[in-house]
Amino acid sequence: MWKWLHPYAKTERTYHLCQRLLPWFSLLGLAVIILATVWGLAFAPTDYQQSEAYRIIYVHVPSAVLSKSLYSAMAIAAFIGLVWQVKTSFMAMIALAPIGATVTFVSLITGAAWGKPMWGTWWEWDARLTSQLILLFLFLGVISLYKAFEDKQQAGKAAGVMAIVGVINLPIIHYSVQWWNTLHQGATIMKLGKPSMPPEMLWPLLLSILGWALVSGAIFLLRMQNEILQRDIRRPWVVALANKSLALSKGK
Amino acid sequence: MVFDDINSFLDMGGYGLYVWLSFGSSALCLLILWLDSHFSKRRLITQVLHEQTRQGRIKAAAEQSATAEQSATAEKSATAQQKTHGETI
């Protein structure tokens, strides 16, 4: 496996791998997210308790699930970077951080917009909401710590340690609805046994999670490429690549 | 479709504001992130091209000044030789 993985520690190989994967993730992600959103908004049945307001679930749950997955991915990248000194790993970490921050922000906004009609308040200092807000601050912390260092290898190490320490927040978010009395409802799909949701509602939800994941993947590939370009800006292969793209745009 | 017409779809059973606020802000955030990532890639590539032309200019200027210096020293030595010639004659 190491022999297979090793070439991707080289930035040029990784850049071209990202380039190959990018159209698949973008097109598939866009298609799935549109399908799931239209299905969730217009075709999924009305909830007997929350009527149409429950449709917020089709953006709230994917963004919340993705916020935790992206944080885990970022922490794993940080760990690999710290232990094996792989420099592309830190680039992956910092490419993931803004995406994670954005989806965490979206989960908080959509949560507020759902909380207002259902609980009567936009915000409550409740365990689930507060721990999710801390997750947003952790993402922002990793980004700003990385930016604070001129030497990017040093920056990767510092931000990486922060990302790994912040992992403690993930189980807190997940179990907050069980450990504390909270306004937030319990888990619907991520629990043992059968999900407490009819399949006509569950399918668009699962699809929208997939769509959000693919779109996040596409944005990650783009940002990963940007990190590589930034780091290798004086390398001959980057100059050759820029000239090729210039020739292509002139040819059009 | 569970809605009868476009108005009831937009109204979302009275929760229109909250539902559309959620979907709108999600779409906006993802769109901004995507556009930012896309345009910074473009910006980086133009930056590489600018740097390349700058390096080219620096190299050309260095070569020009080197040849200018060479010809200047050649001229100087030539006039010096003439002078000494003049003196000896």
Q: What is the ipTM of this complex?
A: 0.85
pLDDT at A18: 93
- What tokens does B57 get? 């200019």
- The answer to whether the CB atoms of B52 and A242 lie below 8 A apart is yes
pLDDT band per the 50, 70, 90 thresholds, residue A175: confident
Average pLDDT value for chain B: 84
Residue A48 DSSP class:
T
Q: What is the mean pLDDT of residues A170-196?
A: 74
CA distance A17 to A24: 12
CA distance A42 to A55: 9
pLDDT for A185-223, tens place per residue? 766 665 555 667 788 888 899 999 999 999 999 999 999
- The answer to whether the CB atoms of A105 and B26 lie below 8 A apart is no
- The answer to whether the CB atoms of A44 and B23 lie below 8 A apart is no
Rounded to two decimals, the pTM is 0.85
CA distance A141 to A146: 8
Residue A232 DSSP class:
T
Of B3, B12, B29, the CB nearest to A102: B29
A49 has pLDDT over 80? no
Q: Which residues of A touch B45 (CB under 8 A)?
A: 229, 241-242, 245-246
Of B18, B25, B30, the CB nearest to A117: B18
User: Is A113 touching B (CB cutoff 8 A)?
Assistant: yes
Q: Are A37 and A207 in contact (CB under 8 A)?
A: no
Q: Which residues of A touch B3 (CB under 8 A)?
A: 42
pLDDT at B35: 94
Cβ-based neighbour number of residue A121 at 10 Å: 11
Of A41-55, A84-98, B21-35, B73-87, least confident by mean pLDDT is B73-87
How far is C-alpha B56 from the chain's CA centre? 16
DSSP state string for A136-205 = HHHHHHHHHHHHH-SSHHHHHHHHHHHHHHGGGHHHHHHHHHHHS--SS---SSSSSSS-SS-HHHHHHH
- What tokens does A102 get? 């954005």
DSSP state string for A75-139 = HHHHHHHHHH--HHHHHHHHHHHHHHHHHHHHHHHHHHHHHHHHHS-S----HHHHHHHHHHHHH
A7 has pLDDT over 70? no
CA distance A152 to A8: 19
- The answer to whether the CB atoms of B23 and A230 lie below 8 A apart is no
Domain boundaries, chain B: 40-89
CA A146, A222, A212: angle at the middle one, nearest 5? 100
Q: Are A85 and A153 in contact (CB under 8 A)?
A: no
pLDDT for A134-155, tens place per residue? 999 999 999 999 999 988 889 9
